[in-house]
Amino acid sequence: MVDCGAMRNSFLIANPKGGSGKSTLATNLAGMFARQGHSVMLGDIDRQQSSREWLRLRPPGLPRIATWEIEDDKPARPPKDTTHVVLDTPAGLHGKKLAHVLKLVQRVIVPLQPSLFDILATRHFLDELLAEKEVRKQHAFVAVVGMRVDARTRAAAELERFLEGVGVPVLTFLRDTQNYVQAAAHGLTIFEMPASRAAQDWEQWQPIRQWVETGAAGETA
């Protein structure tokens, strides 16, 4: 059991398809908040605990990102004074488990890669997500982020066509780059990489930054 209370700045990163980029998006979103000076918790509700393992690699001296505060016989909670919560989720999240975690957050970001299998799986997930009570009542707002997108490929064009009719805002397309892989291997985010390497990535994150700060619902990609 987990409990985020009434946390205003709470974000769920979810897609039922394994390998969709959930942990990449979750760790970098947490890192972005931490670099802004917020008190951040990155919570992992995935059995693989990818985000927790990433936190163990994070060098001391960087902006701190906390994890769950766990006490015997009590739900896992964000540490006291936490202002921003990011939740990483397992593949196959649906049904009662999805309904439960939606009650914990106010924003949902769905990462989506430009492959047929990812698009098909995500189409069904978005239908289920938009039918959930917490979303229908607008207690949770949903957006999509394209992951590992090479704009020169046919797959990218197919992804764009699918997202045009998805019914939720498409925040941005993040490029296919080794920056994310190399940063993750050292417990870093792209926001801790030098501008000479990551300036293009920082620019691609600007629509995400604007959405999480203002709640803008317009499609920006």
Tens of pLDDT, residue by residue over 130-159, are: 888 878 776 568 999 999 998 888 888 888
pLDDT band at 24 (very low <50, low <70, confident <90, very high): very high
Residue 218 burial (CB < 10 Å; 0-12/13-18/19+)?
exposed
Cα–Cα distance, 59 to 204 (Å, whole number): 25
pLDDT exceeds cutoff 80 at 33:
yes
Measure Cα distances from 98 to 41, 101, 126, 221 in Å: 20, 5, 12, 27
Any bridge partners for residue 110, and if so which? 144
pLDDT confidence of 221, banded at 50, 70, 90? very low
pLDDT one-digit tens code per residue, 157-214 = 888 888 888 888 889 999 999 999 999 999 999 999 999 999 999 999 999 999 998 7
193 vs 170: CA distance, rounded Å: 25
**What pLDDT was estimated at residue 74?**
57
Total residues found in the chain within this entry: 221
User: What is the value of pTM for the model shown?
Assistant: 0.89
Task: Tell me the chain's radius of gyration from C-alpha atoms.
Answer: 16
Please state which architecture CATH assigns to domain 9-214: 3-Layer(aba) Sandwich (3.40)
